[in-house]
Structure 1
Amino acid sequence: MTPDELAALIVDLRQEGSDTPEIEVKRAAGGFPDSVLPTVSAFANTPGGGVIVFGLDERDGFAAVGVYDVVACKATLATKTRQALDPPATFEAWDLEFEGAAVLVAKIHEQPSHGKPCRVTSSGKAYLRSYDGDYELSQVEEQTFIANRSTPMFDQQVVPGATRNDLHPDLLAAYLASCRASSTALAAMPDDEVLYRTGVTTGSDRSPSLAGLIALGTYPQQYVPNAVIQASVAPRAGDPPGTRAADVRRFDGPLPLMLDEALRWVQRNTRTRVRFGIDGQGRDEPEFPVEAVRELLSNALIHRDLGPYALTQAITLRLDERQLVLSNPGGLWGITVDRLGKTGVTSARNGQLLRICQNVRSQEGNRVVEALASGIPAVLSSLRDAGMVPPRFHDQGISFTVAVPNHALLAREDLDWLAGLPAAATLGDRQRHALVAMRRGQTWTNQSFRETFPMDSREARTELAGLVEAGVATADGERGGRVYRIAAHLTGEALIPTARITSQSAPQPGNSPADKTSPNARRKNWDLIQRHLNTGDMTAVEISEATGLTARQVQYALQLMREAGSVALIGSQGHRDSRYRIVAPPQGD
């Protein structure tokens, strides 16, 4: 890490007002911090690891207070990571100076799968990073890590009590026909042999495997009750006070039926918009491309963790005014987030289920899996063709979440304007949306950009810098308060009034970090959070799920609301079971 990278990292922390999922700050001015081991354990268990910065004071706005002794701090960290953790954690460190103080930065490496979970030896506890805290693993989460030490084979296991009669006759007939049509070898086999050779049945009595039951069963939930999709719509402006969710549904049955019903539910709860193509013709298009939603649902159903510890959890699907969020038990297997969508890159947690679903069709005649390694590329392609930004993927090791922002489709005049702008040809999808918003009078900061286009602060900085490098935007102000505006040479035409490029509110003047001194800016999201807290005490995670706000938005608002005496924390800071309670209506700063 370079001094410039450290400076940028601290700017991001100051903008956030708290630690982040990837970065933890320790004061370390008076000695080695006692709270380091849980943080190292959490980062070692979290995909991608994380960074600990020694020598900053979070309570004083991340002021540089310096490390008590850099050499001693580094030596103590090395000793503790070797001797106080099982298995030992590894790290790399840098001695740097920031604002005249000595700072130590340590990058904690992720443990390989066979080394998870990494435990604190003295307590036997293991931790995981979530939001800005280190949380002790539950028994279910520990079992998830232990099971991931080897290739999962849960989908091949026998389902106790299930018989061939539990398979749906129509699905079974269509499956057998598809298998025989795609394989000369299978075409010559009797039905029972085809089912056994393709993994639908298993064991000496040829009873259904878990994969066969989930894909082709009449009602798999008789044996695996939580192999379902739990769907809900976030409260809307017109909903009665106290509403936590609308159109709550539980989709069950065989996998292809769940896929079809969940897809129809998304279409029913989202809007259709008119989009103008390059031929000038307006066409009705869904808020979320059907192909993208289908592929994401299919991926969640096929790649969810099927271990006994994970089958206590359902896939969750949530819609709000800003995004579609889909989460399934079990993180990525054999692949990392940065490789998703790359041509020919695939990895299957449930190899048997994946192969079966290549020959399973939904009620509408679509294959559940069209081709290996084609799902995520199809999602990215369909979103790009719709003029939308890519989804945001988050792998926590024990769960995998994808968020698809519902940015409005670009109108014909916007497409024409971009087409006549040579520099726009080099811009990405998010940058084009941001530039169109600038044309309408919008300004951007790092925080407002990443809240609108879900990403981390470094990605946002790169995207915004790309607009400046392309000559279509300017940046004013120092790091931490930098504001991006449309370039002067593009303002010859009158700025188009109107304001929103997404179905969520695009950050307006007075609501951006650049205006943090404004009372309205500091009260942003208070009313929304208070409305949900009025129904009862909630954790920060529950508030984030109920409101659709990001974890960082929730933490920032709650911090200010606590300072104003509007809410009280019931429990300990940074503990995921701690809850927040309304004390009095929020007061202005």
Structure 2
Amino acid sequence: MADWLEGLITELRKFGSEATRVEVKAAASGLPASARESLAAFCNSPGGGTLILGLDDTPGFRPVGLPDARKLQTDLAAMCRDDLTPPLQPNIFIGEVDGSPVVVAQIVELPREQKPCYITAKGLNRGTYIRVADSDRRLTAEEVHQLIAERGQPVFDTEAVGDAAVADLDGAAVDGYVSRLREQNPRLWANESVETILRMNRVVVPDAAGEYRPSLAGLLSLGHFPQQYFPQLNVTFVHFPTITGESTPSGVRFLDNVSMNGSIPYMAREALAVIQRNMTRRSLITGEGRRDVWEYPPEALREAIVNALVHRDLSPGSRGTQVQIELYPDRLRIQNPGGLFGSLDVNRLGEEGRSSARNSLLLKLLEEVSVPGEDRTVCENRGSGIRAMISSLRRAGMGPPLFKDRVTSFEVLMPNHALLDDETVLWLSTLGREGIRDSQCIALALMRRGEVLDNSKYRAATGVSDSRVAYFELQDLVARELVDQTGSRGGARYTLSEYAKSVGTHEARRRPRPNRRLQIIEALAHLGDLSKAEIAQTIGASEKTAEHWLGRLKRNGEIEVIGGKNRSKNTRYILSQQLRLLLEDAETTGQ
């Protein structure tokens, strides 16, 4: 636990601000009442978080000196138990930072069926918070009701649309849907009427009076104009001329501004066409040379648009919010109402086997509804959309999308830049480290742009599916002194090392990187047999770096292992007989 806390404080100080999952409070005069808001916010937010009492919240995060850490720990436990509904039982312990005590609480995210947690004295509608960036935000009453509605499987998409009639369905779309069902499963549907098929698949459902009307899912999948009943269940697109969204000096506010209506299949197709209409092409460097590609690969756009449309919140309180697409000179943003549903975690999106459907009927119907004018259905409903999005961006030489889950909304952000552009490719070539894998190059390029990676983000960005392989590749970069690691185990974070940042600059030419191979050979030549720890101390490097170079020297036949098994603490290293003879000859001849 001490190592975990040390890594967390190192990370806070390195980046100079509190993080989404960390809140720091001085608490020098006792437990602050605002701690209740942070506790409630963390357990309502994806991944939970950590509250640290006893540190100044300035960028240095220095200890304030708690007069009675034990009492503060007791008071915090009582606050979790008595001031919040439902009561919390976080892991609370006393740690140490720079020799001074701090009180640390690790708060886990509540299960969906227990949310939301709220401050009891303020009540449900005024005392519910979530974490946004590095602060706690109070939810509106409507947002609170959305969380309550999602304690179980939402069924808003199965509801009958009160004023709608079967005639509001698109006849051609219905014919295509029925034909596909009969073709895919003739045993079930070949001999059933269209009316029966629509009823059994809940495209139409009975209302309170027993009259059959289109369900919300049926109307969105096969309706002619669902916006007749739900004007805001559509898609809006805005192309901004500036990265801030402000008008240009000449007063131009939008380059394009479009509202798309109709069923989901038509809106998805039109949204993709509108984005492409506003995109340009760029050059991509490949093994065969250069080729022109779209700024954003169409497959990635298609998946992001469909995901936003089919996973959006359809509860009554969210039906006044559209799916929003915003194109800026440096990024594309797609946002839908409703955060991730179920057990999904934003840091594990795209992993195989992870899928959770908020609108299960809608997804089921769209499995069999074709995209207008194309020979494919709108979605597969196999949880593969995010993986396809990431893969297509990777093939286009771009970095992975950024996902933001804010409980009541979900955002996909695609930066508009080639990850491996000319400058980055040149930089990678000057690192001078043979044997680096393609996946490691992608990670290095991302970190060069300021990204902070962990194991899951590394896998999402590179396509490495096994967390153990990702760990090995990240540790290899640490050993090569190209990457710095803060934290350990599941909390490990990786950033570009100062050496890697300086490659190609005047600073790198002024202070060249030490030749670790030569340093180790010289240490063994002058000091005799040494352990890995002794070598690391002698050359001023980490044990990971020493182990990396010892492995290379051993493979080259330049050193030998004595005493203990390989990689054990008792293992010691000496120069190989062949290298000793070469060094003796060189010394004799004066070379």
Quick one: which of 251, 258, 277 aligns to 1:268? 277
Structure 2 stretches lacking a partner, 5+ long: 462-470, 487-493, 510-591
In 2: Cα distance, 1:117 partner to 1:474 partner: 39
Structure 1 stretches lacking a partner, 5+ long: 436-443, 495-589
Distance change (3 Å), C-alpha of 1:160 and 1:469 = same
In 1: Cα distance, 2:378 partner to 2:64 partner: 56
What is the Cα deviation at residue 186 of structure 1? Answer: 1.5
Match for 2:379: what amino acid?
V
In 2: Cα distance, 1:154 partner to 1:8 partner: 44
1:121-168 CA-to-partner distances (Å, cap 9, x unmatched) read 111121111122212210110111110111111100000100011111
What is the Cα deviation at residue 376 of structure 1? Answer: 1.5
Name 2:304's counterpart in structure 1. 296
Secondary structure of 2:236 counterpart: strand
Match for 1:186: what amino acid?
W
Name 1:559's counterpart in structure 2. none
1:479-526 CA-to-partner distances (Å, cap 9, x unmatched) read 9996242697999x99xxxxxxxxxxxxxxxxxxxxxxxxxxxxxxxx
In 1: Cα distance, 2:321 partner to 2:503 partner: 53
Name 2:581's counterpart in structure 1. none
What is the Cα deviation at residue 470 of structure 1? Answer: 6.0
1:58-106 CA-to-partner distances (Å, cap 9, x unmatched) read 1474221133322111111111111111111221123221122211111
In 2: Cα distance, 1:277 partner to 1:483 partner: 29
Name 1:408's counterpart in structure 2. 418
Match for 1:109: what amino acid?
V
Quick one: which of 340, 351, 363 aligns to 1:332? 340
What is the Cα deviation at residue 56 of structure 1? Answer: 0.9
Is 1:231 the equivalent of 2:234?
no
1:277-327 CA-to-partner distances (Å, cap 9, x unmatched) read 33x153321111111110111111111111111212211222223322212
Name 2:325's counterpart in structure 1. 317
Contact 1:472-1:486 within 8 A present in 2 as well: no
Match for 2:437: what amino acid?
A
In 2: Cα distance, 1:241 partner to 1:400 partner: 33
Contact 2:42-2:109 within 8 A present in 1 as well: yes
Distance change (3 Å), C-alpha of 1:362 and 1:469 = same
Is 1:308 the equivalent of 2:316?
yes
What is the Cα deviation at residue 344 of structure 1? Answer: 3.2
Name 2:55's counterpart in structure 1. 56
Name 1:363's counterpart in structure 2. 372
Match for 1:228: what amino acid?
N
Secondary structure of 2:71 counterpart: helix
Is 1:187 the equivalent of 2:193?
no
Secondary structure of 1:193 counterpart: helix
1:367-401 CA-to-partner distances (Å, cap 9, x unmatched) read 21135222122112212222222222222222222
Q: Give the TM-score normalised by the residue count of structure 1.
A: 0.73
What is the Cα deviation at residue 335 of structure 1? Answer: 3.0
In 1: Cα distance, 2:484 partner to 2:362 partner: 51
Name 1:431's counterpart in structure 2. 443
Which shifted more, 91-100 or 9-18? Answer: 9-18
Quick one: which of 250, 261, 267 aligns to 1:252? 261
Name 1:220's counterpart in structure 2. 226
Match for 1:66: what amino acid?
G
Aligned residues: 474
In 2: Cα distance, 1:341 partner to 1:64 partner: 40
Secondary structure of 1:260 counterpart: helix
Is 1:141 the equivalent of 2:146?
no
In 1: Cα distance, 2:213 partner to 2:377 partner: 24
In 2: Cα distance, 1:414 partner to 1:36 partner: 44
1:168-195 CA-to-partner distances (Å, cap 9, x unmatched) read 1222222121121111111221111111
Contact 1:256-1:361 within 8 A present in 2 as well: yes
Match for 2:194: what amino acid?
D
Secondary structure of 2:317 counterpart: coil
Distance change (3 Å), C-alpha of 1:18 and 1:276 = closer
In 1: Cα distance, 2:202 partner to 2:183 partner: 17
Secondary structure of 2:318 counterpart: coil
Task: Give the share of equivalent positions with the same residue, in percent.
Answer: 35
Is 1:69 the equivalent of 2:81?
no
In 2: Cα distance, 1:291 partner to 1:201 partner: 32
Distance change (3 Å), C-alpha of 1:464 and 1:267 = farther
In 1: Cα distance, 2:291 partner to 2:87 partner: 58
After TM superposition, list the pairs within 5 Å mapping 1:443-522 onto structure 2. Answer: 444=448, 448-450=450-452, 468-469=477-478, 471=480, 473=482, 483-485=498-500
What is the Cα deviation at residue 18 of structure 1? Answer: 3.6
Secondary structure of 2:325 counterpart: strand
Contact 1:228-1:258 within 8 A present in 2 as well: yes
In 1: Cα distance, 2:252 partner to 2:64 partner: 46
1:21-48 CA-to-partner distances (Å, cap 9, x unmatched) read 2111110112111211111111111111
Match for 1:135: what amino acid?
R
What is the Cα deviation at residue 245 of structure 1? Answer: 4.7
Secondary structure of 2:271 counterpart: helix
Name 2:121's counterpart in structure 1. 122
Contact 1:235-1:245 within 8 A present in 2 as well: yes
Secondary structure of 1:105 counterpart: strand
Secondary structure of 2:24 counterpart: strand
Distance change (3 Å), C-alpha of 1:13 and 1:127 = same
Q: Which has the larger radius of gyration?
A: 2
Match for 1:282: what amino acid?
R
Name 2:518's counterpart in structure 1. none
Secondary structure of 1:56 counterpart: coil
What is the Cα deviation at residue 334 of structure 1? Answer: 2.2
Secondary structure of 1:284 counterpart: strand
Contact 1:216-1:254 within 8 A present in 2 as well: yes
What is the Cα deviation at residue 415 of structure 1? Answer: 6.9
Instruction: Calculate the aligned-residue CA RMSD, in Å.
Output: 3.5
Is 1:19 the equivalent of 2:18?
yes
Contact 1:474-1:487 within 8 A present in 2 as well: no
Name 2:202's counterpart in structure 1. 199
In 2: Cα distance, 1:260 partner to 1:421 partner: 45
Contact 1:392-1:455 within 8 A present in 2 as well: no
Contact 2:337-2:408 within 8 A present in 1 as well: yes
Match for 2:204: what amino acid?
T
